[in-house]
């Protein structure tokens, strides 16, 4: 009997660990020196892993996705086990001539097939819901980052801001790293947004 296992999106797994050592809001990162020019081009970069683990929006949404994934997996495992039990009981009863008629056996077999179909549909629905939530998170992250960098770069005037993750950049001098600067700014904006939303809810 096939086991129905819930497959979480790779993006969720990549976000699973959260670092509790978030940067202080009043911290002045050394990245201010990243304005150093390389010829006529000003370059900076952001460490993606640090952004994912220290930006409050990412940390909170990661917990939401993990909870949804765990709940879905538990639900599917329970229903999958129930299906396996029903199928095993049917097979045992069939071998022991426990059915009073062929029609009775076919009726129970059809019920198990409907149970299996229902489980497959549930798995597809839950996976789709998780994928939608992940897309919602990705869009929110991209939107907040782009809006912040647009405002941030009015003063910094970088020509190029890169993302550094794993080995996609083989080497980058630390003076071009603006990660802490970006995280601090994003968290400050995020907290302001939460406060504004809380005030709106109070007025309702």
- Dihedrals phi, psi of 47, to nearest 5 degrees: -75, 115
The whole-model pTM stands at 0.71
**For residues 162 and 167, which has the higher predicted lDDT (pLDDT)?**
162
Output b/e per residue, 23-54; b: 16+ Cβ within 10 A: beeeeebebeebbeeeeeebbbbbbeebbbbb
Instruction: Report pLDDT digits (tens) over 68-93.
Output: 999 999 999 999 999 999 999 999 99
First to last CA, the chain: 53
CA distance 177 to 71: 38
3-state secondary structure of 189: helix
Question: Would you tell me the crossing angle of helices 179-203 and 56-95 to the nearest 10 degrees?
Answer: 80
């Amino acid at each position: 009997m096939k086991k129905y296992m819930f497959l979480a999106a790779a993006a969720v797994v990549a976000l699973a660990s959260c670092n509790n050592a978030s940067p202080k809001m009043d911290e002045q990162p050394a990245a201010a020196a990243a304005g150093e020019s390389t010829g006529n081009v000003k370059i900076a970069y952001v460490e993606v892993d640090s952004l994912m683990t220290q930006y409050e929006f990412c940390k909170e949404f990661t917990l939401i996705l993990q909870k949804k994934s765990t709940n879905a997996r538990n639900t599917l495992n329970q229903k999958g086990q129930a299906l396996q039990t029903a199928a095993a009981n049917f097979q045992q009863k069939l071998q022991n001539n426990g059915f009073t008629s062929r029609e009775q056996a076919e009726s129970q077999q059809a019920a198990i097939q409907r149970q299996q179909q229902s489980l497959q549909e549930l798995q597809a629905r839950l996976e789709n819901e998780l994928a939608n939530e992940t897309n919602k998170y990705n869009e929110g992250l991209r939107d907040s980052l782009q809006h912040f960098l647009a405002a941030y770069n009015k003063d910094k005037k970088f020509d190029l801001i890169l993302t550094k993750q794993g080995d996609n950049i083989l080497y980058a001098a630390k003076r071009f790293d603006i990660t802490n600067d970006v995280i601090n700014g994003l968290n400050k904006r995020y907290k302001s947004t939460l406060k504004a939303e809380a005030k709106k809810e109070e007025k309702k």
